[in-house]
Amino acid sequence: MTITTDHQATIDSALRVDGVQLIGGEWVTSGTGRTIDVVNPANREVIARVPRSDADDVDLAIKAAEKAFPAWRDLDASSRARLLFRWADLIEEHNAELDSLESQEVGRPSWGPPPMANQIRFIAGQADKVQGVSLPTRSTGSLGLTLREPYGVVGGVIPWNAPGPMFANEVGPAIAAGNTMVMKPAEDAPLTPLALAKLALEAGIPAGVINVVTGYGHEAGAAIPADPRIRRMGFTGSPQTGRAIMESCARNLTPLHLELGGKSPQVVFPDADLDAAIPAMTMGITLNTGQVCAAGSRVVVHRSIHAEVVERLAAQMRKVTVGPWHQQVAMGPLINQKQHERVLSYIEIGKEQGAELVTGGGRPQGEEFGDGFFVEPTLFDKVSPGMRIAQEEIFGPVLSVIPVDDEAEAIEVANGVDYGLVASVWTRDIGTAVRASRALQAGQVGVNTPIGAGTVIGGPFGGYKNSGFGRTMGADSVLDWTQVKTVSMQGAPIPRG
């Protein structure tokens, strides 16, 4: 396959990196010279290549991060904050190119200005507020205090569904705390992370502070947590990979946080404002073609309004336009063939297990869908809580409606999965909202909004149960990348009398 020129034209050539990765401030190939094609999922055309790195490349990146660490750790916090603010400004200046780049590698329509500049600004504001405490002492001759110190060289692995925000979310707090980092983006969508790293260098963040090693998970990815020189890990991705990363970390006793998948419920009570709920719930499962960890993939609805909800959801889902990302559609293709086969197979499983297919259910028909990984927005009704489509993360635009008889059953069904990332409640009654907010087992609860903390600035994000542990995005996100040291200082006691 050759790299196509018409799609390249949509990307600012200065930001688009091709065939190289960032180690120690240098743009380098992998040691073996092998590469991976980055493919536009709308038509399978190759849009760039990135190095297929392995443990040897990760070793070089760790060495570069080790070299950069002492000076970065010792740089005063205000200067680190200033560099992050400059990085945020540069990101904002390049918003249009970054949006286009991410659209192309993920296959999503434009979302307008991406969130990364604001994410980095929020983090930069924390960089010079990393504080310890003063401690009580048993003697007037001593002082006790705590210091918050960076870990050293830290590692990150992120998925492909929102590569820009995921990169900002892991790298920003880690380096703001004074760590240096080795980050592996997903093989399907590494271009936006590489572009962000390029802007970080341009902002003056020193060489070796951010190292981006591209490659497959089982090669470059696995080599990061396996290395004892990595002192802390951050991982966002599937529970299966999260387990593998945690096992590696356990061998080295490396602390970590895990941001994993979800099977988020949208609980709809009889008094819900359906004019607001129906479009929001449709968006909640079709945004990014359902490839969102927080996607509201289960509608748990009171039987008294069940028929109306299904009818209106079906009508709304049929209005969702599907096509190649640049055609101003609402929904693009899935990311790759494996994901396409997986989503289509879940639709078959839903039918086989007796759910009622209301709309969608296959590939859309038409020439423009020929080579892309497209799937229709799909609605299943009469789903019972134990069915696989009600229990397992599909990571596609497949919505399951589960009717229930009362509030207690609604909460039981909503909580009756292994995941606990996000939950939404749709009601006009404050009492119902308060009870449900407390009862739902999820890291974020949204009342009359589809994605819990989405509209809140600085809401900590992370999961209950198999959705992971640790919280990102909040006011403590930089603190999380520090370790605490207690210092006790002994002088002479104050003379008495």
Chain residues binding ligand NAD by CB under 6 A are 157-161, 184, 186-187, 216-218, 221-222, 236-238, 241, 244-245, 259-262, 293, 393, 395, 421, 468
Q: Nearest distance from residue 249's CB to ligand NAD, in Å?
A: 11
Clarify whether 259 is annotated catalytic.
yes
Strand order in the sheet with 398-404: 356-359, 378-381, 398-404, 298-302, 265-268, 422-426, 444-447
CA dist., res. 301 & res. 271, Å (int): 11
Angstrom distances, CA of residue 489 to CA of 2, 15, 366, 430: 65, 50, 75, 53
Q: State the catalytic residue, choosing from 259, 352, 367, 393.
A: 259
Residues 117 and 455 sit within 8 Å (Cβ to Cβ): no
Q: State the catalytic residue, choosing from 97, 105, 187, 293.
A: 293
Angstrom distances, CA of residue 262 to CA of 25, 106, 336, 468, 478: 36, 20, 20, 9, 25
Clarify whether 247 is annotated catalytic.
no
Calculate ∠ Cα 344-345-347, nearest 5°: 65
Q: Nearest distance from residue 223's CB to ligand NAD, in Å?
A: 8
CA dist., res. 14 & res. 18, Å (int): 10
CA dist., res. 146 & res. 155, Å (int): 25
Using CB atoms, what's the residue nearest to ligand NAD? 217
DSSP state of 210: E
For the four alpha carbons of 392, 393, 399 and 403, in that order, the dihedral sign comes to: positive
H/E stretch holding 92: helix 77-93
Q: Nearest distance from residue 247's CB to ligand NAD, in Å?
A: 9
Residues 179 and 153 sit within 8 Å (Cβ to Cβ): yes
Q: Nearest distance from residue 338's CB to ligand NAD, in Å?
A: 9
Smaller CB distance to ligand NAD: residue 188 or 381? Answer: 188
Q: Nearest distance from residue 340's CB to ligand NAD, in Å?
A: 13
Residues with catalytic function: 259, 293
